[in-house]
């Protein structure tokens, strides 16, 4: 590197979102995210799937089933609240919000925002939103609604 020149940094041009395809909350969040204009493309891959294991052999795939995980095409990995902020940062209308809530004090807000925006918790509990639900509030897929 010559004096006076900044090192080159590869910008993130895509994210892979590993999500629990068996969780109605994760599925609703996916639909909501897919329906927004994206500055950085979001590709969704079910956590623990063969595709996820093949593409990211170094990850703890059991851990990705416990919490959403986002992998940048630059190799960066975001888990939990940081993953939700990365998803918001990828969206055209929510990048500014993502930058504001990325401080440690506000970081948990990202997850709450996406849950509220997708309106999945209340709809799932009160109307049996999940496909094939036997009765209102029944998830039908073993989801214990304890996503971190």
- Cβ atoms of 137 and 145 within 8 Å: the answer is no
CB 20 within 8 A of CB 46: yes
Helix (H, G, I), strand (E, B) or coil at 42: strand
**pLDDT for res 28:** 86
Structure pTM?
0.71
Task: Please report whether residue 143 resides in a domain.
Answer: no
Does residue 44 lie within any of the structural domains? yes
Domain contains 43: yes
The reply to whether 102 falls in a domain is yes
Is 60 part of any domain?
yes
Structural domain boundaries, residue 120:
15-127
- Summarize pLDDT for 81-111 with one digit per residue, the tens: 889 899 999 999 999 988 888 887 776 776 6
For residues 116, 114, 30 and 131, what is the CA-based torsion angle, rounded to 10 degrees? Answer: -20
Q: Are 143 and 24 in contact (CB under 8 A)?
A: yes
User: Is 140 inside any structural domain?
Assistant: no
pLDDT at 121: 40
Hey, which residues does 71 pair with through a beta bridge? 16, 77
Looking at residue 66, its pLDDT comes to 84
The predicted pLDDT at position 114 comes to 66
Low-confidence ranges of the chain (pLDDT < 50): 1-2, 6, 120-122, 124-141, 148
Classify residue 1: in a domain, yes or no.
no
Domain count, the chain: 1
Domain-located, residue 142: no
């Amino acid at each position: 590197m010559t004096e006076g020149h900044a090192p080159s940094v590869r910008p993130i041009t895509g994210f892979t979102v590993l999500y629990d395809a068996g969780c109605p909350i994760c599925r609703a969040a996916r639909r909501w995210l897919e329906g927004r204009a994206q500055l950085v493309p979001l590709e969704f891959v079910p956590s623990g799937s063969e595709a996820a294991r093949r593409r990211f052999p170094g990850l703890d795939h059991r851990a990705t089933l416990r919490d959403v995980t986002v992998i940048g095409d630059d190799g960066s990995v975001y888990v939990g609240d940081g993953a939700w902020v990365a998803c918001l940062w990828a969206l055209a209308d929510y990048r500014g919000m993502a930058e504001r809530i990325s401080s440690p004090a506000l970081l948990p807000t990202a997850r709450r925002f996406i849950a509220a925006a997708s309106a999945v918790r209340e709809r799932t509990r009160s109307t049996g939103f999940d496909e094939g639900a036997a009765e209102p509030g029944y998830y039908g897929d073993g989801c214990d609604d304890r996503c971190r």
